[in-house]
Amino acid sequence: MPKSILIVDDDAMMRSFLSTVMREEGYGVEEAGNGNSALEALRRSEFDLVITDLRMPDVSGMELMREGRILRPEARWIIVTAYGSIGNAVEAMKSGASDYMTKPFRDPDELRHVVRRVLREADAETRISLLSEELGKRFPPAETIFLGERMSEVHRLVRDVAPTTATVLVTGQSGTGKELVARVIHALSPRREKPFVAVQCSALAETVLESELFGHERGAFTGAVGLRKGRFELADGGTVFLDEIGDIAPAVQVKLLRVLQERSFERVGGARPIAVDVRIVAATHRDLKSEVAAGRFREDLYYRLNVFPIVLPPLVDRREAIVPLAEYFAGKFAAAFGKRISGFSGDAVDALRGYPWPGNVRELQNVIERAVILASGEIDVGHLRLETASETGMPGEGALRANERETIRKVLAENGGNRTQAARILGISLRTLQYRIKEYGL
């Protein structure tokens, strides 16, 4: 359904010009010759955008916007003003206008560009709101994910890149939420109705990863009893998330480079090129520039991946988010476990803020999950089981982490290395277990 635009101007020629340009762009357009007529139109119909002149005889553009935003809070506003009245336009921006333009217009393309951008930003914000509702039970709400000065910049980058087809490289320490950011990018993109396919590159051997990504033909290797589509084929039209891209072998790097360059590949054991339309979001905790310098990562692949870099700060650099995240996780796990949690004691809050969080948000989530299990009512510092580095002799680690490593090692040994069974016994996801195995060097 085309976007609807209300154009308000007491100058008939200007109103006709604006309407013609917008209709040529495919928008639905309604005109109003004064502020009162515009208010009647707003009471009668919904509009995605209002373009209004600032100076009008009966109701000014500023007055119209103030009343119109009450009638239609979802509508966006663009103020049009004479060149010499830019100060008034800036005041309108402070009052809620999305943008302003000065007349006479130099070029109709200027108008088209501004309108497209304002409507695109409106769509992105709507999708963020819907995303927060959709993922609210699984992930923190958007305002919590992107809380703090450092993450507000990440939020802006995500909103800018999501509507495009650009390849994104998300970097940051383990546990900072790289996959979550990738999912937000997908959810805000035009591909959101298509698949989001995640691949944990570090968890798979070279031959397995190649087959997993590109698929294989029947008889390509021992055990290949039938044709199998890879992740790129399964994600056609959507997004492929390549986690820990810095860990892939050189042979797989070559094939991945071709996908980025030509959007095609062959299955393992196949000769027929297969074309796909996928958007790639990659992530790594490694410094890929250093990996390139050391000869472990292809330079041409690095530049293909690093089209739009997003760097996630560690949790210790966004301390203002620690307590809100902890409260979110506490509520989530309390609901899941059927427990009543009234909040955190003052000492617990101080401990949360003072701890270095080497495992970042993932570690925070694990700590709060255990605390909810242990607590009744208020979560106190003892339920968190956080200890300082000086008490354990382990830089950046607590006794809890040392105990956790030994527990995982023991459960794996007792189950013959069966990770699925070990994860079930430990009460954690297989993905979390795989992360811990790598983190602890098991």
- pLDDT tops 50 at residue 257: yes
- Mean pLDDT throughout 382-405? 56
CB 137 within 8 A of CB 325: no
Beta bridge partners of 4: 28
134 — pLDDT class (breaks 50, 70, 90): low
302 — pLDDT class (breaks 50, 70, 90): very high
Query: At residue 64, what is the residue type?
Result: L
Q: Which tens digits make up the pLDDT trace of 217-237?
A: 776 666 666 677 888 888 899
Distances in whole angstroms, Cα of residue 35 to Cα of each of 42, 55, 176: 10, 10, 50
Beta bridge partners of 240: 197, 280
Q: Which tens digits make up the pLDDT trace of 264-277?
A: 888 887 778 888 89
| Res 4: pLDDT | 93
CA 22/CA 8 separation, integer angstroms:
13
Residue predicted with more confidence, 104 or 175: 175
Residues ≥6 apart with Cβ < 8 Å to 399: 385, 387, 391, 392
C-alpha angle 393/319/127, rounded to 5°? 130
- Mean pLDDT throughout 254-265? 88
| Res 393: pLDDT | 39
- Mean pLDDT throughout 422-436? 74
214 — pLDDT class (breaks 50, 70, 90): confident
DSSP character for 344?
E
Q: Write out the DSSP string of 387-404.
A: --HHHHT-TT--HHHHHH
CB atoms within 10 A of CB 121: 16
Q: How do beta strands 196-200 and 239-243 pair?
A: parallel
| Res 88: pLDDT | 73
Q: Which two tokens stand for residue 390?
A: 């000086």
Q: What is the pTM of this model?
A: 0.59
**H/E segment holding residue 4:** strand 4-8
**H/E segment holding residue 111:** helix 108-135
Region of poorest pLDDT, from 201-215, 298-312, 369-383: 201-215
Q: What are phi and psi of 333, to 5 degrees?
A: -75, -30
Q: Which tens digits make up the pLDDT trace of 8-21?
A: 999 999 999 999 99
Q: Which tens digits make up the pLDDT trace of 339-380?
A: 889 899 998 998 898 888 988 998 999 999 999 998 888 999
Q: How do beta strands 274-275 and 264-265 pair?
A: antiparallel
Q: Which domains does the chain have, with CATH numbers?
A: 4-124 (3.40.50.2300), 142-313 (3.40.50.300), 316-440 (1.10.8.60)
- What Rg do the C-alpha atoms of the chain give, in angstroms? 27
86 — pLDDT class (breaks 50, 70, 90): low
Residue with tokens 């909103």: 159
- Mean pLDDT throughout 395-423? 70
| Res 224: pLDDT | 64
Burial class (CB in 10 A: 0-12, 13-18, 19+), 296: middle
Q: Which tens digits make up the pLDDT trace of 430-442?
A: 777 777 787 777 7
DSSP character for 374?
H
| Res 423: pLDDT | 79
**Which strands form 76-82's sheet, in the order they lie side by side?**
28-32, 4-8, 49-53, 76-82, 99-103
| Res 399: pLDDT | 46
Average pLDDT over all residues of the chain: 84
CB 304 within 8 A of CB 261: yes
Q: What percent of the chain has pLDDT over 70?
A: 88
- Mean pLDDT throughout 312-317? 92
Q: What are phi and psi of 278, to 5 degrees?
A: -130, 150
Of 239, 114, 94, nearest to 164 by C-alpha is 239
CA 317/CA 322 separation, integer angstroms:
10
